[in-house]
Structure 1
């Protein structure tokens, strides 16, 4: 099974990046970073971000003053989160307390750290998985050739789930393809599915078909993009995709805090291309039996509001929610708004 979100103990932060400032210039060979050093760097950045986030939570105002989301099918929520008290009130009468958070292309379990913290505070059990080749899973992205292989940590988790237990799946961006694949494979174990600015594809459609409308026509993009990776040689089809830091900032993080952009810059990994190019087989009996909800992000540069509108028109979900002022990553730019939406969906009977 893939790596589950894990918070590094604070004591591991000793001897961080700043301790190198007094050393002289390094040669190119000395600047090469091993896989273990990359993982340590990622964990240090993540731990610092979590620490700052938890600290900021102590001083923020009430949730009702900070939410900026709207829903096309609004329901009045009781004040179940803080109720004006110091300690949170735990949610009751939920069909399931397990919410599985599935990251999008290039991301990892790390990206959900704010959502994990907020959900745990109200008694929900969030599980954030690294898909193959993502986060601290060091599978070579060039060797991931199918959506089933890429999504294996998720399907392994569902496969090991007791028959009488259900979960809520939340997929971001191209993680929508992974949760769609899981819905087709394990419909009886999934209570609801939430697509967060995600590729909510139709039967026979490829995840890349959705993104290509933003990036360029697929054939042109695959021929001309300077961001493609040819792990098997230039004479073979591209195996991966990796935007540079400026491109990522403009596409994904245009409303994110600087500390989260810094975290992403040391954590994002190449995107396996083959799973994005695979057509999904989705049936009404399996995929269609799970209630779907779509979260629209209204300041999204990666998947524009127009494309998101097209997705929900072509494949209508049971409910639509909108987050004002959110870029492609509401779990970083608008975590409280996303949190409220997830709680609302979790409480729907």
Structure 2
């Protein structure tokens, strides 16, 4: 009789347990998968260094992503001579960091670095998951920065050229209006204190891209709506001329959204 009671108990519990198993299985199937974490390579633009990403990097890392930042030659704390700070060396520097990674990366370029990430994508397209242009130059084949008209930019009128015209600084009174007009006082102070002479060879380097390489890498653009560096009008023109931008995002900031609105910027990058 004890054996029969035991069997009855098992039978009584079998149906509810089976139903519970079905419910749990259904819940598992419906539960959304966690978004895969990414490797971001963030490339700063002219007249700044890797410190440009100091506020954005920890926000991306907080979400589990890997974030790689560095100084381009002759920028930030890098002491490369100005004469060696060429577009080719920029591209080699960025490519070297990317090639150390086992998989593909999301490559982000700000301002002048739009030209840099363009050439990197042409060189190693199989290593780039996405290209992200942050208020950056998005060139067509044969274009170069100084050859792209931007009448609404404050860069041109405020350049102070070296005697041989191989490098330039920005007039002191224009540094904050261009780089930090909508930023905190500590950022305004920093951009003035850390301003360095900028090599101009990369501004004259022509983009050399093909549809077979650069053309097949997915591109995203983040427009900055109060930009007087790379003006908002020029940003829109470049996006329209490219014709292959997957999606355009906007941030209501000046030229340096990584200083002014890092949380919003990190949110956009993390959504890609």
Q: Distance in 2 between matches of 1:167 and 1:298?
A: 27
- Quickly say closer, same or farther: Cα 1:109–1:340, change in 2 above 3 A: same
Larger Rg: 2
- The CA deviation at 1:215 is 4.9
| Aligned residues between the structures | 239
Write 1 or 2 for the structure with the bigger share of helix. 2
- Quickly say closer, same or farther: Cα 1:288–1:263, change in 2 above 3 A: same
Are the counterparts in 2 of residues 131 and 151 from structure 1 also a CA contact under 8 Å? no
Aligned 1:83-162 pairs, distance under 5 A = 92-94=34-36, 97-144=38-85, 146-162=86-102
TM-score normalised to structure 2 length: 0.82
- The CA deviation at 1:214 is 4.0
Are the counterparts in 2 of residues 204 and 281 from structure 1 also a CA contact under 8 Å? yes
Of 130, 136, 140, the residue aligned with 1:202 is 140
Are the counterparts in 2 of residues 108 and 268 from structure 1 also a CA contact under 8 Å? no
- The CA deviation at 1:274 is 0.6
Q: Distance in 1 between matches of 2:52 and 2:208?
A: 28
Of 318, 327, 332, the residue aligned with 2:246 is 318
Counterpart for residue 46 of structure 1: none
Deviations 1:89-120 (A, max 9, x none): xx9332x5210000000111011000011111
Q: Distance in 1 between matches of 2:151 and 2:142?
A: 17
Counterpart for residue 173 of structure 1: 111
Deviations 1:305-330 (A, max 9, x none): 21111111111311100112x01000
- The CA deviation at 1:286 is 0.6
Aligned 1:136-285 pairs, distance under 5 A = 136-144=77-85, 146-162=86-102, 165-210=103-148, 212-215=150-153, 227-230=160-163, 236=164, 238-285=165-212
Partner-residue secondary structure (3-state), 1:309: helix
Are the counterparts in 1 of residues 50 and 71 from structure 2 also a CA contact under 8 Å? yes
Q: Distance in 2 between matches of 1:313 and 1:341?
A: 21
Unaligned ranges ≥5, structure 2: 1-32
Are the counterparts in 2 of residues 199 and 210 from structure 1 also a CA contact under 8 Å? no
Q: Distance in 2 between matches of 1:160 and 1:211?
A: 37
Are the counterparts in 2 of residues 131 and 152 from structure 1 also a CA contact under 8 Å? no
Q: Distance in 2 between matches of 1:92 and 1:259?
A: 37
Deviations 1:120-157 (A, max 9, x none): 1111111111111111111122343x311133321211
- Quickly say closer, same or farther: Cα 1:142–1:214, change in 2 above 3 A: farther
- Quickly say closer, same or farther: Cα 1:226–1:245, change in 2 above 3 A: closer
Are the counterparts in 1 of residues 106 and 130 from structure 2 also a CA contact under 8 Å? yes
Deviations 1:65-93 (A, max 9, x none): xxxxxxxxxxxxxxxxxxxxxxxxxx933
- Quickly say closer, same or farther: Cα 1:301–1:215, change in 2 above 3 A: closer
Partner-residue secondary structure (3-state), 1:281: coil
Q: CA RMSD in A?
A: 2.0
Are the counterparts in 2 of residues 194 and 293 from structure 1 also a CA contact under 8 Å? yes
Are the counterparts in 1 of residues 153 and 230 from structure 2 also a CA contact under 8 Å? no
- Quickly say closer, same or farther: Cα 1:240–1:314, change in 2 above 3 A: same
